[in-house]
Chains A and B, each alone.
Chain A
Amino acid sequence: MNINFTLISQAVSFAIFIWFTARFVWPPLMKAVEERQKKIADGLAAADQGQQQLAQSQSRAQEVLHGAKQQSQELVANAQKRADEMIEQARATAKVEGERQIASAHATIAQEIQQARETLRGQVAALALAGAEQVLMREVDAEKHREVLEKLGARL
């Protein structure tokens, strides 16, 4: 163990190496490392955000889909209802029309019966009159015997 000037020169070179490391090695590399750390942190944050957004839009899509489904169901239901209504209406209209026609036919028939009866009545009256004429051999004043004839006609 002999301490000598070597010690001082070693200390000087040590100091120079410390200065060199602190000046040229440490800061640039630390800067690069810190920059990368920041980049990674940013990337992770961005990924997180992306995931969140994805989840959000997924739920939005689900919502929209659900709405569309509901709407279409509503539409179908409405159409069904409407069709039912239309059928019902048509049925009702047809029924009314049919009844109306039946009624009118009945009326016509009744009218015709009435007419035929009237005609028949008239003819019977005329026939009766003619017969009475024949029997009495004289002119019966139709005007004078209208009352009798009508009574007779009504009895027919």
Chain B
Amino acid sequence: MATGHELTPTGYIQHHLTFNAQAGETPFWTWHMDTIVTSVILGVLTFGFLAWVVSGATAGVPGKRQAFVELLIEFVNDQAKSIFHGDLRFIAPLALTVFVWVFFMNAMDFLPIDIMALFYKNALGLEYWRSVPTADVNTTFALALTVWFLMIFFAIKVKGVRGFIHELFCAPFGGNPLLWPFNFMFNLVEYVSKPLSHSLRLYGNIYAGEIIFMLLGLWAATGVAGTIFGGILSAGWAIFHILIVGLQAFIFMMLTIVYIAMAHEGH
């Protein structure tokens, strides 16, 4: 739609999948401005809202707004408490941050892609702008790796450096020196697969959702009837996508809690 290129299905999809990249000196130093700006705005809005509600929180009869936020916090707290039996003062706020932020980043998927593309181009002068930060693998890896580092931090904090290294070599098969390489390989695979599965699950789901919206958007190329048909299908997919958005945010939060809870447990 809002492309300057020739209108082909490939061009349409590619246009929607192009990041607003701020190129650096080397490819690594590239910034995806759309991902960063959108996620930071969403984070500031949601956490600002939460802080605003909390600043007026009363222990008496809560207002509707406070009751809603309390519901959310109680929900996250219950989940964290059911998995992790220890000091929740860090892990529960972490889970809340993950859940709320990922939820809203996922929810950007509900915005109709072509109208948003028109808006970005005509109102903000941005040719390329991807609205969904979690459809950028950088975001999901950033979240998963942060959780991964926290996991290692807590493992070392709880068990000590010696305990951590001991566990690397002596668990899960046993402390026999002959088994050390196997243990280490096993743990290595575990430590690599955890952030990978954690981040790629979210990325894949949201990216796929975005692609399906684009494919349904292609119906607009077949005329008025096709546009209407595509619109109905898009609405259906968006309704189904509500489930995915919430579910993926929930799964991401639960895995965060599970990984950090596992780091606290010794073998």
Partner of A17, one of B43, B62, B90: B43
- In whole angstroms, how far apart are the Cα atoms of A56 and B235 in the complex? 65
Report yes or no: A4 in contact with B93, Cβ–Cβ below 8 A. Answer: no
Q: Chain A interface mostly helix, strand, loop or mixed? A: helix
A7 touches B138 (CB 8 A): yes
Q: Which residues of A contact B40 (CB under 8 A)?
A: 13
Question: A35 to chain B: which residues have CB within 8 Å?
Answer: 59
Point out the residues of chain B lying under 8 angstroms from A36, CB to CB: 59-60, 62
> In the bound complex, do residue A21 and residue B50 qualify as a contact, i.e. CB atoms below 8 Å apart?
yes
Does B143 lie within 8 Å of A33, measured CB to CB? no
Per the 8 Å Cβ criterion, residues 1-53 of A in contact with B are 1-11, 13-15, 17-18, 20-22, 24-33, 35-36, 39
- B24 cross-chain contacts in A, Cβ below 8 A: 4-5
Residue of B35, B93, B101, B137 touching A14 (CB-CB under 8 A): B101
B146 within 8 A of A: yes
B66 — which chain A residues lie within 8 A by C-beta? 32
Given the known A-B contacts A11-B142, A17-B101, A30-B73, are A24 and B29 also in contact in the complex, defined by CB atoms under 8 Å? Answer: no
* Nearest CB in chain B: distance from A8 CB, A: 7
Q: How many residues of B contact A (CB 8 A)?
A: 47
A28 touching B54 by the CB < 8 A rule? yes
Establish whether residues B146 and A14, one from each chain, have CB atoms under 8 Å apart when the complex forms.
yes
Q: A11-B145, A13-B36 are in contact. Are A4 and B96 (CB under 8 A)?
A: no
Decide: A29 near B39, CB < 8 A? Known: A5-B30, A9-B31, A39-B59: no
| Complex interface: chain B residues within 8 A of A4 (CB) | 24, 27-32, 138
Chain B interfacial positions (CB closer than 8 Å to A): 24, 27-32, 35-36, 39-40, 43, 47, 50-51, 53-55, 57-60, 62, 66, 69-70, 73-74, 77, 89-90, 92-94, 96-97, 101, 133, 136-139, 141-143, 145-146
16 contacts between A and B (CB under 8 A): A4-B30, A6-B36, A6-B136, A7-B139, A10-B133, A14-B101, A17-B97, A20-B47, A21-B50, A21-B94, A25-B50, A26-B93, A29-B53, A32-B62, A33-B59, A33-B73
Extra contacts, 14 of them, besides A4-B27, A5-B30, A22-B89 (Cβ < 8 A), are: A5-B31, A6-B32, A6-B136, A9-B142, A13-B43, A25-B50, A26-B73, A26-B89, A28-B54, A29-B69, A29-B70, A33-B59, A33-B70, A33-B73
